[in-house]
């Protein structure tokens, strides 16, 4: 393990935290950056396991609200419906992610050209949805109907293709189904908790036998920077999208995808 490898892990961890909760595809960014840096992780586990930092960041920011919901859950129908909605939304990704895990990691994660194309396509979708002038029907995540939550979960399955973006797919799904910009992002935050925790646990289970002691400092370095940078994003994103919308992230995707595609065509 070299200092260069640790520096790359710190950089990729910061990239994970900065991009996990905005609709630009954190996995796509990390895989592309790792490709051009020549960074190789055991079983492609690093790219998934450092998400624990982002998970802990959102748990820390929402800790008071989560605790209040836990206390209200046994007796409050609104809280019970919201938790049921999150679990329903999580279900499609859990089923598809577990059944297609090998294909996703061995094929889709190893196809940087596909990542660039999905970044570009997603950028156009995000720009279109951001300008879609439809009056929202829902402004409170706890009032989303259960059927709507499940449909957002179906949108989330698109993020199995790296470059699509988990948050991007769920936010676009929420907007198309009638959520306003702030509540669509907030629902994506809540849905991220079981989705990312499940992905972390499943990937750790799948790669436990191949990970070595040499992998731990690399993963730890990425985890720390992912946690720190994700804290900043989670604390500021809702106010930002309420005022500015999602156009900036659509343009971001177009630029990154186009630059990545040009670099792949030029240098391989």
Q: Which of 120, 115, 163, 118 is closest to 252 using CA atoms? A: 120
pTM beyond cutoff 0.85: yes
CA distance 163 to 31: 9
Quote the domain boundaries for residue 78: 3-267
CA distance 207 to 201: 10
**Average pLDDT, stretch 236-257?**
92
pLDDT tens column, 110-154: 789 999 999 999 999 999 998 876 788 999 999 999 999 999 999
CA distance 31 to 164: 13
Query: Which pLDDT belongs to residue 206?
Result: 82
The total number of structural domains in the chain stands at 1
What percent of the chain stands above pLDDT 90? 61
Provide the 8-state DSSP code for 161. S
CA distance 89 to 149: 5
* 34 vs 80 pLDDT, higher one: 80
CA 210 to chain centre: 25
**Residue holding tokens 């925790």?**
197
pLDDT band at 168 (very low <50, low <70, confident <90, very high): very high
Query: Which pLDDT belongs to residue 4?
Result: 57
Average per-residue pLDDT for the chain: 90
pLDDT tens column, 60-79: 999 999 999 999 999 999 99
CA distance 137 to 120: 29
pLDDT tens column, 190-246: 999 999 888 888 888 887 887 788 888 888 899 999 999 999 999 999 899 888 899
* 135 vs 165 pLDDT, higher one: 165
Q: Given its phi and psi angles, is residue 109 left (phi above 0), alpha (psi -120 to 50 degrees) or beta?
A: alpha
* CB neighbour list of residue 150: distance below 8 Å, 6 or more residues apart: 85, 88, 89, 91, 92
CA R_g for the chain:
18
Query: Which pLDDT belongs to residue 262?
Result: 94
Judge whether residue 1 has pLDDT over 60: no
What the block records as the tokens of 111 is 């196809």
What the block records as the tokens of 122 is 């997603």
């Amino acid at each position: 393990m070299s200092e260069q490898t640790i520096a790359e892990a710190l950089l990729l961890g910061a990239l994970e935290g900065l991009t996990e909760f905005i609709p630009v595809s954190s996995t796509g960014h990390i895989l592309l950056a790792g490709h051009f840096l020549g960074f190789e992780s055991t079983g492609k586990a690093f790219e998934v396991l450092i998400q624990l930092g982002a998970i802990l960041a959102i748990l820390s920011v929402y800790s008071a609200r989560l605790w209040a919901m836990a206390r209200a859950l046994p007796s409050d129908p609104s809280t019970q419906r919201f938790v049921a909605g999150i679990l329903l939304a999580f279900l499609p990704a859990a089923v598809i992610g577990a059944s297609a895990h090998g294909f996703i990691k061995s094929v889709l994660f190893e196809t940087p050209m596909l990542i660039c194309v999905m970044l570009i396509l997603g950028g156009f979708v995000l720009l279109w949805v951001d300008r879609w002038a439809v009056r929202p029907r829902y402004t409170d995540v706890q009032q989303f109907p259960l059927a709507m939550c499940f449909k957002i979960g179906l949108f989330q399955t698109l993020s199995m293709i790296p470059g699509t973006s988990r948050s991007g797919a769920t936010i676009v799904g929420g907007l198309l189904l009638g959520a306003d910009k702030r509540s669509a992002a907030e629902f994506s935050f809540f849905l991220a908790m079981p989705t990312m925790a499940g992905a972390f646990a499943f990937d750790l289970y799948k790669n436990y036998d191949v990970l070595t002691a040499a992998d731990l400092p690399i993963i730890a370095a990425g985890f720390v920077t992912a946690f720190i940078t994700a804290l900043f994003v989670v604390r500021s994103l809702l106010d930002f999208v309420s005022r500015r919308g999602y156009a900036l992230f659509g343009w971001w995707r177009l630029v990154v995808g186009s630059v990545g595609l040009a670099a792949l065509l030029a240098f391989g």
